[in-house]
Amino acid sequence: MTLRIVPVDLKHARDFVAVHHRHHLPPRGHKFSIGVARGTLLVGVAIIGRPRSRVIQSEGATLEVIRTATDGTRNANSMLYGAARRATFALGYDRLITYTQDGETGASLRAAGYRVIAQRPPRSGWDTPSRPRENRNDGIARTLWETVP
């Protein structure tokens, strides 16, 4: 059976991420979410929202792929990144970004037309005395990717 892009609401996308994502919890919100299915079985999701970086957020016309998660189905992640790209530009945005962690190849991103624009060093963390947070992925270098029309 071939893969196809399907609509998915935030609740179902969050549920899928909770089960299948390797290192992050589901995000709280989104601008939109996309699924990829084999027949009627959902095999992957992408959640797209506001950029986490306030600097990039202030640019106004940029969205970020906040999460993708698949069950390991071949080519599902590339399909999600490609569909996210097309939907973002169809909605009138000028740029779509995402991050990979050190050690991730970015093969799905390259296949979908994204390019590396920056290497980000490990950050010390978001935990502060005034706002305690669990340390999940601090201390890991990241790569910033973008795609433009």
pLDDT digits (tens, 9 = 90+) for 30-83: 999 999 999 999 999 999 999 987 778 778 899 999 999 999 999 999 999 999
The pLDDT of residue 23: 72
Query: Which pLDDT score, from 0 to 100, does residue 52 have?
Result: 81
Looking only at the bridges linking them, the beta strands covering 41-49 and 95-101 are: unpaired
Look over the chain and give the mean of its residue pLDDT values, rounded to a whole number. 89
Q: Where are the domains of the chain?
A: 3-147
CA 15: distance to chain centroid? Answer: 15
pLDDT of residue 21: 80
Q: Of 37, 45, 49, 40, whose CA–CA distance to 16 is shortest?
A: 45
- For residue 50, the Cα-to-chain-centroid distance in whole angstroms is 11
Residues 6+ apart with CB under 8 A from 92: 61
Q: Is residue 121 within 8 Å of residue 140, measured between CB atoms?
A: no
pLDDT reported for residue 82: 97
- What pLDDT was estimated at residue 107? 94
Can you give the pLDDT at residue 130? 76
Tokens representing 23? 């290192």
Spatial neighbors of 41 by CB under 8 A, at least 6 apart, are none
Q: Say which residue the tokens 């299915």 belong to.
A: 37
Q: Quick one: pLDDT at residue 3? A: 97
Q: Looking at the domain 3-147, which fold is it? A: Aminopeptidase (3.40.630)
Q: Tell me the whole-structure pTM to 2 decimals.
A: 0.87
Q: What does the pLDDT read at residue 127?
A: 62
Distance from the Cα of residue 63 to its chain's centroid:
10
The residue that leads in pLDDT, 139 or 122, is: 122
Q: Which tokens is 99 given?
A: 């991050």
Dmax over CA atoms of the chain, in Å, equals 52
